[in-house]
Amino acid sequence: MSLSKAEVKNIADLARLELGDDELPDVIENLSRIIDFVDQLQAVDTDGVEPMAHPLDMVQRLREDVVTERNQRDLYQANAAAVEAGLYLVPKVIE
Amino acid sequence: MHTKTLAELSAALRAREFSSVELTSHYLERIGRLDASLNSFVTVTADQALAAAADADVRIAAGDAGPLVGIPIAHKDIFCTAGVRTSCGSRMLDNFVSPYDATVVARLRAAGAVMLGKTNMDEFAMGSSNETSYYGPVRNPWDTSRVPGGSSGGSAAAVAARLAPGATGTDTGGSIRQPAALTGITGLKPTYGRVSRYGMIAFASSLDQAGTLTVTAEDAALMLAAMAGFDGNDSTSVDRDVPDYALHLNDSIAGLRIGMPVEFFDEGLEQENRGVIDQALDAYRALGCEVVEVSLPNLALSVPTYYVVAPAECSSNLSRFDGVRFGYRTDRAGDLREMYSRSRAEGFGDEVKRRIMTGTYALSAGYYDAYYLKAQQVRQLISADFHAAFERVDVLMGPTTPTPAFEIGAKTADPITMYLNDIYTIGVNLAGLPGMSIPCGFVDGLPVGLQLMGPAFSESRLLQVAHAYQKETSWHRQMPGADFD
């Protein structure tokens, strides 16, 4: 089963991955092969089987609602491409 | 010095045969001279290593007898290390200097281990050959035209070539065990939740687990003791006591019931590999163990299950790489959306993009039930098979890989061919169980690994079982050729 060009472009868009027209054929082929491969799962009888989100029988641990972290903004922002006055700079969002 | 195991080095340091500074310098010299032919290190932290070694020597002189004090180790470049580049094998993080230490790093540092540097890996831990790294492929010291396995290929190659006595790794679908098998060393993946994932760059959150690559099981026990245990910073960390792994290492394994899953011994397993594995099982029979056949009927489904679950989880985890707060940002930023999609297209390699897209597809509207939910149901079935087997036997054994190390470039044409390398290792990740690979022989001069699998939190037993074999055999003491003397 081959994925269509439109489907692949939509996936790339959802994943925020720019895809050039020259790259499309290889991506379509490889993704289609992978989806074909995992389609084997469709034939498995899973009636009444609980999906396993987590290998251990664990419940989300909770803690007291108190502040435990300290503000280290400058340290963390050292890795940012562009910052100003403690804010991250990005290309204009609103025209 | 480098022919000694981690445990032997530890005893030697405490007996003052040499200092940690001398030992660390010895390894740094080897790395400088020999790593060009392996490419196992992305970053070597020579100055910090020597400073840490000097501190360790002070601790040793003051009578601090901790087994890891002064021992040089390497960290897979997936672990955040404060003040040191943490690249995850990717252009996306080539410029990322971590502001904090992963819990694994902090605990090993507190135990006195000396960090030599960060090892090369498949990009974002996605791969089985260490060929997807932004920093180039890692080479197998047993034959440098061949892969060391992946994704912890750098850690494996470094330990195998004795450039470090021990290294950390991570295993999501086999990424510690498979490279350990292909490079002739001991690899350990603990039970999910045994070791904290805090500061370990996430690939697939319900599968990822930190572990060790060492020459021996005894060495693995020493490292695991420092790494394991509850961590409040990891919401999936299990609050359960850490046994004294070293204490129980020499316990007898007579009467142990070993299960051989028939599905591990199918046509996919190369004949010669099968011969080596059979001999290893005979060695266990000679040690008084009972070996029986068992079945894991849904094993063949583990690869397709994994290649839905892992990409789905990775598509979510890697959405944080957007060029805004850290990591690579494109020069060609038009508007915000273009900045995201160009930064990601340029920062990520092909395999990573492939898996992100596979995962996005599996989670998208209209496909979630058919793919992700379905895969998680099959995962339940696979896990149930393991639990049923462990009602009859104590430990499962079989090959770690279907073949020995393959040539660089041999399997890169078709992603599925590469994925099928993980056929024997993936099951244990899906079930969250512990697994090891130990050297058990050679095929055409290339190492073969025996895989051991146990019930949840049975690391102590697995280490005993591995250690018993390593006391009777010497496959694990063999080192790659004269090039790495």
Between the two ends of chain A, the Cα-to-Cα distance in Å is: 42
Structural domain contains residue A36: yes
Half-sphere exposure of B142 (CA within 13 A, CB side): 28
pLDDT given for residue B64 in this prediction = 82
B257-261/B435-443 β-pairing? unpaired
Q: Among B315, B377, B416, select the one facing A37 at the smallest CB separation.
A: B416
User: How many domains does chain A fold into?
Assistant: 1
Q: Could you tell me if B408 and B137 are in contact, meaning their C-beta atoms sit under 8 angstroms apart?
A: yes
Q: What does the pLDDT look like over A20-74, one tens digit per residue?
A: 999 999 999 999 999 999 999 999 999 999 999 788 878 888 989 999 999 999 9
Q: Which of B105, B318, B124 is nearest to B231 (CA)?
A: B105
Which tops the pLDDT comparison, A15 or A59?
A15
- B357: contact with A, CB 8 A cutoff: yes
Question: Given the structure tokens 């108190």, which residue do they identify?
Answer: A66
Between the two ends of chain B, the Cα-to-Cα distance in Å is: 11
Confidence check: pLDDT of A5 > 70: yes
Q: Among B236, B356, B419, select the one facing A17 at the smallest CB separation.
A: B356
CA B402 vs CA B14, B272, B274, B276, B399: distances in Å:
42, 10, 9, 12, 7
pLDDT given for residue B483 in this prediction = 81
Structural domain contains residue A88: no
B114-119/B186-189 β-pairing? unpaired
User: How confident is residue A93, by pLDDT bands cut at 50, 70 and 90?
Assistant: confident
CB within 8 Å of chain B, chain A residues 13-72: 13-19, 27, 30-31, 33-35, 37-42, 44, 46, 49-56, 58, 60-61, 63, 72
* Contact partners, residue A25, CB within 8 Å, separation at least 6: none
Q: Cα B185 to the chain's mean position, in Å? A: 11
Q: Could you tell me if B156 and B199 are in contact, meaning their C-beta atoms sit under 8 angstroms apart?
A: no
CA closest to A34 among chain B residues = B416
Q: Which of B384, B421, B372 is nearest to B401 (CA)?
A: B421
**Dist CA B209 CA B293 (whole Å):** 28
Domains along chain B? 6-256+392-484 (3.90.1300.10)
Structural domain contains residue A13: yes
Structural domain contains residue A20: yes
pLDDT given for residue A53 in this prediction = 79
Structure tokens at B284: 């266990």
Q: Which residues in chain A have Cβ-Cβ distances shorter than 8 Å to B340?
A: 16
- Vertex B149, ends B146 and B151: CA angle to 5°? 140
Confidence check: pLDDT of A1 > 80: no
pLDDT given for residue B418 in this prediction = 82
Q: Could you tell me if B432 and B421 are in contact, meaning their C-beta atoms sit under 8 angstroms apart?
A: no
Q: Among B235, B307, B383, select the one facing A38 at the smallest CB separation.
A: B307
Q: Which domain holds residue A11?
A: 5-42
**Dist CA B147 CA B179 (whole Å):** 9
Q: Is B423 exposed, middle or buried (0-12, 13-18, 19+ CB in 10 A)?
A: buried
pLDDT given for residue A56 in this prediction = 82
pLDDT given for residue A95 in this prediction = 63
Residue numbers of chain B with a pLDDT score lower than 50: none
pLDDT given for residue B481 in this prediction = 84
Structural domain contains residue A14: yes
**Dist CA B154 CA B163 (whole Å):** 11
Structural domain contains residue A33: yes
Structure tokens at A95: 């025209």
**Dist CA B72 CA B55 (whole Å):** 13
Q: Measure B144 CA to nearest chain A CA, in Å.
A: 29
Q: What does the pLDDT look like over B447-471, one tens digit per residue?
A: 999 999 999 999 999 999 999 999 9
pTM above 0.90, yes or no: yes
3-state secondary structure B141-196: CCECCECCCCCCHHHHHHHHCCCCCEEEEECCCCCCHHHHHHHCCEEEECCCCCEC
pLDDT given for residue B93 in this prediction = 98
Q: Could you tell me if A88 and A80 are in contact, meaning their C-beta atoms sit under 8 angstroms apart?
A: yes
Structural domain contains residue A67: no
